[in-house]
Structure 1
C-alpha cells in the first residue's frame, strides 16, 4: 500500500491548471452577457463549455500516461 500512496501524488500541476481554468470560465463568461433582455446564448457560446472540458480531459489523459 505504501507504493500506491507513493505513486499517487494528489493534485498535480495539470489538475490545478484545469481547475483554475474552469473557475475563470465560470466567473468571466457571465460578464460577457450584454445588458438588456435575456436572450438564449449563441451557438458558439454553447460550445465553449463542452469544448473546454474535452480539451482538459485530453490534456489530463496525456499528462497521466507513463512511458
Structure 2
C-alpha cells in the first residue's frame, strides 16, 4: 500500500508493543491487529478499520482529503 500511496500520503507502521503503539491503542480504541487509521490535515482520525485493509476505501478516503491526488 505504501507504493500505491506514494506522493499522496505518509504511511507509518507502528508496533502495538511500542510506547507510541500502546498510547494509540488507548486513544483510538484499537482492538485488533492490523488496524488502519487515516488522519486529516488537522490530525483527526477520519477512517479506522480493523483487520485486513480495504485498499479501495483507504485510497478513496485519502483522495477525498486531497483532491489533487492522482
Pick the TM interval, shorter chain.
under 0.3
Larger RCO of the pair (alpha carbons < 8 Å, separation 6+): 1
Structure label with greater radius of gyration? 1
What is the TM-score with the length of structure 2 in the denominator?
0.27
Structure number having the greater strand percentage: 2
What is the TM-score with the length of structure 1 in the denominator?
0.28
